[in-house]
Amino acid sequence: MAQSRPDHDPVSVGSLEFWSLTPEGREERLRILRDERPVSWQRPAEGSMLPQEDDAGFWAITRHADIQAVSKDPATFCSGQGVMIEDVPSDILEAASSFLATDAPRHTQLRRLVSAAFTPRQVKKIEAQIADQARRIVDDLIEAGDCDFVDQVSRRLPMWTIYEMCGLPVARREDAAHAADGMVSWADPDVRAGLEPADLLNQSLVTLITIGLELADDRRENPGEDLMTALVQAEVDGEQLSEEEIAAFFVLLSVAGNDTTRNTISRTAEALTRFPDQRKILQADFDGTIGTATDEFVRWASPVMTFRRVATRDVELHGQQIREGDWVVMFYASGNRDERVFTDPHVFDVTRSPNPHVGFGGGGPHFCMGNMLARTQLRALFGELLRRVPDLRTGEPVQLVGNFVDGVKSMPCTLNL
Ligand code: HEM
């Protein structure tokens, strides 16, 4: 017989109020859970697009070791039933998530189709182009003067990189990136501007699918060296990918490639303002420090705050009885501040080593495919910024409300040149 549920935890990490706090505010609560109830039973997430009457709640996993354990056991904690703290209709899930929300063997087959483009060797090939773009972005920043850092800097390199790899014409890139934003911003009343969350999600999805399919058509006619050409020519078990599958790839790459790196750039610029000693260390020996620093940028920013799994069987974790079908949510941002793993986790330390952060996931089959690409962008951009705008300072960030990506919508900066 199934055991009765524990009471919902008094320290709530599912409410909109929680997700509206600053990272430091959220961390105060997460620390209590890590110390006292590392696997806690939480009320259903508030503000859900499709509230379910029988939704009893979800398990919050807040310690580093448990995030790794869940990530590395996909047979028990699967991705195929959705990965957000949000139930979306299954057609939307398929259209929006591609292989992110699948399990082996399908996941292995689909991921393999694009993973060749993300190996260190392939990323090395476009490193010079990324460096060139970083240089141009900083040229433009210097010309613009004091401005909004997100608009002028953070959003540009990730957008350029992912769409250059996909082969998307420049004229379509802004629209695609804007729609990718909508996919992770539907909980934010300011971004929604009067739309219902589901309407913003649908609109954004339709835009991305349309742009992805236009590109696919074009690449069938005019094959190139890009990822979209690889996808329209790919076969799985002797069959070509369907239009829906190709579009879903484009949606996943758009969302994964834009917001993550953008927000890491913004939070890092903020951290370099708040911790001038760390800025000096990087400036004094950029080449010698940037390797450890990029990992610290990602640990510090933790731009992907959560991912969900669903338990495929009854299982016990830290004395809690997780039932088959329960939602299990990993709080990466909490794992990255776990005192059991990191010395002084609240200090931004560009020389931190080792730095086994879970910013790119806790290991296992879904580990971030773009991690080398993200590191290359961070290295190129901060190399330019720290050398050419050495006294750049950021102001107060305006934060996105939502339970998935820690987004910075805007943040003023002064160049002090
Ligand atoms: C600092 C930047 C980034 C961060 C923090 C980040 C974080 C993550 C995380 C946490 C996951 C889930 C891991 C898991 O479930 O175990 C993930 C998956 C993924 N990331 Fe990233 N990511 C970043 C940049 C990128 C970039 C630039 C791309 C390029 C397109 C990318 C593509 C992907 C893809 C395709 C997946 C799904 C992998 C799968 O399901 O097999 N990411 N990322």
Mode of pairing for the β-strands spanning 58-61 and 327-331: parallel
d(CA 378, ligand 1 centre) in Å:
15
Q: What angle do CA 292, 409, 167 make, to 5 degrees?
A: 70
Least confident interval from 57-61, 87-91, 134-138, 268-272: 87-91
Atom from ligand 1 closest to the CA of residue 71: 16
Q: What angle do CA 217, 223, 224 make, to 5 degrees?
A: 125
CA distance 148 to 139: 15
- Residue 308, pLDDT > 60, answer yes
Mapping DSSP to helix (H, G, I), strand (E, B) and coil, where does residue 260 land?
helix
Least Cα distance to 258 among 190, 168, 330, 145 occurs for 168
Sequence-distant (≥ 6) Cβ neighbours of residue 17 within 8 angstroms: none
Distance CA 136, CA 134 (A): 5
**Alpha helices, DSSP H only, in 275-370?**
276-284, 286-301, 332-335
CB 180 within 8 A of CB 161: no
Report yes or no on 8 lying in a domain: no
Query: What mean pLDDT value characterizes the chain?
Result: 94
**pLDDT higher at 104 or 95:** 104
Pairing assessment for the beta strands 235-236 and 239-240 based on DSSP bridges: antiparallel
pLDDT for the residue numbered 384: 98
Query: Is there a domain that residue 10 lies in?
Result: no
Q: Which domain holds residue 285?
A: 16-414
Kindly state whether residue 59 falls inside one of the protein's structural domains. yes
Please give the average per-residue pLDDT across 387-414, as a whole number: 96
Q: Report the pLDDT value the prediction gives residue 198, as an integer from 0 to 100.
A: 85
Q: Please report, for the domain that includes residue 164, its CATH number.
A: 1.10.630.10
Residues 259-301: tens digit of each pLDDT:
999 999 999 999 999 999 999 999 999 999 999 999 999 999 9
Under DSSP, the state recorded for 322 is E
Give the pair of three-digit tokens for residue 104. 């082996």
CA of 307 from ligand 1 middle (Å) equals 11
Per-residue model confidence (pLDDT) at position 2: 56
Q: Looking at the domain assignment, is residue 6 inside a domain?
A: no
Evaluate whether residue 20 is within a structural domain: yes
CB crowding 382-410: b at 16 or more within 10 Å, else e: bbbbbeebeebbbeebebbbbbbbbbbbe
CA of 261 to the centre of ligand 1 (A): 10
Q: What is the pLDDT of residue 97?
A: 87
Residue 342 has pLDDT above 90, yes or no: yes
SS3 content of the chain, % helix, strand, coil (to 5): 55, 10, 35
CB-count burial class (<10 Å; 0-12, 13-18, 19+) for 98: buried
Query: Closest Cα partner for 412 from 276, 273, 280, 283?
Result: 273
- Looking at residue 135, its pLDDT comes to 98
Query: Among 371, 355, 382, 381, which Cα is nearest to 292's?
Result: 355
Ligand 1 atom at minimum distance from 302 CA: 5
Q: What pLDDT, in 10s, does the model give residues 347-368?
A: 999 999 999 999 999 999 999 9
The torsion angles phi and psi of 183, rounded to 5 degrees, stand at -65, -25
pLDDT at 45: 87
pLDDT given at position 333: 97
- Residue 260 counted as domain residue: yes
| Residue-level pLDDT at 5 | 84
Residue 51 has pLDDT above 90, yes or no: no
Q: Is the pTM of this model over 0.75?
A: yes
- For 202-257, how does the pLDDT look when each residue is reduced to its tens digit (9 = 90+)? 999 999 999 999 999 999 999 999 999 999 999 888 888 999 999 999 999 999 99
pLDDT of residue 3: 65
Region 153-158: mean pLDDT is: 98
pLDDT of residue 89 exceeding 70, the answer is yes
Question: The tokens of 201 are what?
Answer: 């999600």
pLDDT over 60 (residue 406): yes
Region 175-182: what's the mean pLDDT? 95
Number of helices and strands in the chain (H, E): 17, 14
Nearest ligand 1 atom to the CA of 364 is 16
Task: Specify the ligand 1 atom closest to the Cα of 301.
Answer: 5
Mutate to test the pocket of ligand 1, among 184, 368, 379 (most ligand atoms within 8 A of CB): 368
What's the domain count of the chain?
1
Q: Indicate the range of 7-21, 181-195, 251-265, 396-410 predicted with least confidence.
A: 181-195
253 CA from centroid of ligand 1 (Å): 9
pLDDT at 46: 82
Question: Is residue 7 one of the residues assigned to a domain?
Answer: no
Over residues 323-332, mean pLDDT: 97
% of the chain surpassing 70 pLDDT? 98
On whether residue 150 sits in a domain, the answer given is yes
